[in-house]
Amino acid sequence: MRQATVYIDSAALQYNLNRVKQLAPTAKIVSMVKANAYGHGVKDCLAALSASDAFGVACLQEALEIRELGYQQPITLIEGVFVADEMPIVIDQNIEVIVHQQAQVDWLLAHKDAYIAKDLKVWVKLNSGMNRLGFKIDVIKDVINQLKAEGFICVLAMHFANADADHPLNDEQIRQFLEIKNYCAPLMGSCCNSAAIYKYPELHFDFVRPGIMLYGATPFADRDVHDLDLKPVMTFTAEVIALNHIKAGEHVGYGSTFTAEQDMTLAIVSIGYGDGYPRAFPKQNYVAINGQQTRVIGRVAMDMIAIDVTAMQVKPGTQVELWGNTRLVDDVAEANGTIGYELLCRLSHRPLRKVI
Ligand SMILES: *Cc1c(COP(=O)(O)O)cnc(C)c1O
């Protein structure tokens, strides 16, 4: 049987969650498990993350999956509900909403008594310059004051556009967040994703919202997971299914883009873009065998790649790490012009999944 496998290391997940606790000892932790726990499999990850104070997801569907799996922690819908009909379900299932526009405030007010009776918090989103979702600074004061006057427990929520970098917008976003937090005091606050948890210890406030760091990948372009003291959770592997000796001058793969400069040994590995392994072209992918990195030769196909194993001890059945502890997903991402987040989220259903 084809052996492309995604291993999920639950001890690493727990280790990374503890890192959040160390870095943000006074804040509650909303573990972000949207997009099937960043492609890691929400079912397996929830077990390892059950010490979280709450979970964050992108839509009702994802929240209901958590409830069906039996977890009772608070859940926040980070984009709120999409239609009014979702409100009664949200309340019945003890799910908290963000409000980022007036229609959502109206839906919430229409269910005020039931929502408040369940002690659910309302997350009110400030648009401080990312210009995705949220109320602008000049209107959010009224929204929060109205919700507070109606008896709602509010959390001011904000998201950085550049938490991973030094950018002049950071100071402006912080300034707006603090202005609202003070103006509407007392008011709980939450503005830190993974990068901001590291970068702004003074801004952890009531709730931090770690995502990528839990999974042991980096939110920064210039700091790797070892530097951040995180452990990669996912190891993505496949097996060698054939060996192929080629002579100088021969080509490899679709488009015959690779020409051997000398005689070499290739291993054919049963992995491809049909599994979510990125195509890199025209850049260069590397994989690892027993802790040693080697290059991918020619184009990545749907089901197979060729790798250079000249002078390596390899046979059919040898395990190849596409990413994991040796070849970091962040390095694979870099070689493919993307970020670890994308590679993790866009794995296909084809690889087997195993929890260790
Ligand atoms: C996804 C998300 C996070 C987590 O971001 P990371 O960079 O993965 O830590 C935090 N807050 C919001 C609103 C998000 O959408």
Give the pLDDT mean for 40-45: 96
Please give the pLDDT value at position 39: 97
Q: Is 218 in the pocket of ligand 1 (CB under 6 A)?
A: no
213-253 confidence digits (pLDDT tens) = 999 999 999 999 999 999 999 999 999 999 999 999 999 99
Q: Is residue 38 part of a domain?
A: yes
Give the pLDDT mean for 255-284: 94
Please give the pLDDT value at position 335: 94
Ligand 1 midpoint to CA 295 (Å): 33
Atom of ligand 1 nearest to the CA of 219: 7
> In terms of domains, do 132 and 245 share one?
no
Residue 43 has pLDDT above 90, yes or no: yes
Please give the pLDDT value at position 280: 84
Residue 199 or residue 282, greater confidence: 199
146-158 confidence digits (pLDDT tens) = 999 999 999 999 9
Domain boundary residue, one of 185, 216, 247 = 216
Q: Is residue 224 part of a domain?
A: no
Atom of ligand 1 nearest to the CA of 34: 1
Q: Is 32 in the pocket of ligand 1 (CB under 6 A)?
A: yes
Residue 56 has pLDDT above 80, yes or no: yes
Whether residue 351 contacts residue 3, with contact meaning beta carbons closer than 8 Å, is answered with no
DSSP string, 217-259: --S-SS--TTTTT----EEEEEEEEEEEEE-TT-EESGGG-EE
Positive/negative CA dihedral, 210, 162, 217, 320: positive
Show the domain range for 48: 10-216
Please give the pLDDT value at position 107: 98
Q: Is 210 in the pocket of ligand 1 (CB under 6 A)?
A: yes
Q: Is residue 107 part of a domain?
A: yes
DSSP string, 311-349: TS---TT-EEEEESSSS-HHHHHHHTTS-HHHHHHT--S
Does 254 qualify as catalytic in the annotation?
A: yes
pTM: 0.96
Average pLDDT, the chain: 97
pLDDT interval class at 169 (50, 70, 90): very high
Please give the pLDDT value at position 236: 98
Q: Which of 191, 94, 91, 88 is CA-nearest to residue 134? A: 191
Positive/negative CA dihedral, 266, 291, 342, 348: positive
Residues 325/329/334/335 CA torsion (nearest 10 deg) = 80
Domain boundary residue, one of 190, 216, 242 = 216
pLDDT interval class at 258 (50, 70, 90): very high
Residue 281 has pLDDT above 80, yes or no: no
Residue 283 has pLDDT above 90, yes or no: no
Q: Is 212 in the pocket of ligand 1 (CB under 6 A)?
A: yes
Please give the pLDDT value at position 80: 98
Please give the pLDDT value at position 2: 82
**267 residue type, one letter:** A
Q: What is the C-alpha R_g of the chain?
A: 23
> In terms of domains, do 125 and 49 share one?
yes
Which of 112, 136, 183, 254 does the annotation list as catalytic? Answer: 254
pLDDT interval class at 36 (50, 70, 90): very high
The pair of three-digit structure tokens given for residue 110, joined into one six-digit string: 């229409």
Does 141 qualify as catalytic in the annotation?
A: no
Length of the chain: 356
> In terms of domains, do 199 and 284 share one?
no
Ligand 1 midpoint to CA 256 (Å): 41
> In terms of domains, do 239 and 212 share one?
no
Domain boundary residue, one of 216, 244, 263 = 216
Q: Whose CA is nearest to atom 15 of ligand 1?
A: 78
Q: Is 155 in the pocket of ligand 1 (CB under 6 A)?
A: no
Ligand 1 midpoint to CA 11 (Å): 22
Please give the pLDDT value at position 116: 98
Q: Is residue 272 part of a domain?
A: yes
Ligand 1 midpoint to CA 67 (Å): 21
Residue 47 has pLDDT above 80, yes or no: yes
Atom of ligand 1 nearest to the CA of 38: 8
How many domains does the chain fold into?
A: 2
Q: Is residue 5 part of a domain?
A: no
Atom of ligand 1 nearest to the CA of 341: 8
How many angstroms separate the Cα of 136 from the Cα of each of 100, 101, 144, 174? 10, 10, 12, 14
Burial class (CB in 10 A: 0-12, 13-18, 19+), 109: middle
Please give the pLDDT value at position 237: 98
Residue 282 has pLDDT above 80, yes or no: no
Task: List, in order, residues 6 or more apart from 61 with CB less than 8 Å away.
Answer: none
Q: Ligand 1: which of 40, 209, 228 to mutate, judged by most atoms within 8 Å of the beta carbon? A: 209
Q: Is residue 46 part of a domain?
A: yes
Q: Is 211 in the pocket of ligand 1 (CB under 6 A)?
A: yes
> In terms of domains, do 54 and 82 share one?
yes
Q: Which of 177, 208, 202, 200 is CA-nearest to residue 76? A: 208
Q: Is 190 in the pocket of ligand 1 (CB under 6 A)?
A: no
The pair of three-digit structure tokens given for residue 185, joined into one six-digit string: 């005091």
Ligand 1 midpoint to CA 350 (Å): 27
**192 has which bridge partners?**
208
Give the pLDDT mean for 16-38: 98
74-89 confidence digits (pLDDT tens) = 999 999 999 999 999 9
